[in-house]
Structure 1
């Protein structure tokens, strides 16, 4: 019920010298849109809570930061959205789609 969010980050492991080796993973979560902005915000917060809890229960770390590690490319949290209009005929059209 939301746009598109990216989360990622797996707990670092130790290398042969005992130093933490960075392990980067990415998980993309897609939701169907919601017509209610307040519900959308609530959905995002609930999703973050659930993802954090599942990671914690499995001994993993997660971040929603856009660029959590300096010097390493980040995918960044972002939201994709579309703009729709309902015509008098009842047809719903995507305002960014050339076919509509």
Structure 2
């Protein structure tokens, strides 16, 4: 379970909202996409393309690649290393990355 390590749990008012699969999710300034999604209770973020096992952020520092999502149309983005910004469109990673 994801728990913030800070005193205040209230989300700030304002335009700090990203779009996750059609839903608006608020985030705090400085949050990574993974932190914003976990705060909103979103899990898993993807399924393993081989065995369909559910995957969610684990290390939160870019080592494990379990937090891959599609951000603004770009696949295989590490949500733990990507800072959330207003209007960002995020989707679950579906299967293996497609090649052009």
Q: Which has the larger radius of gyration?
A: 1
Structure ranking higher in helix proportion: 1
Q: Which has the higher strand share?
A: 2
Per the normalisation by structure 2, the TM-score is 0.25
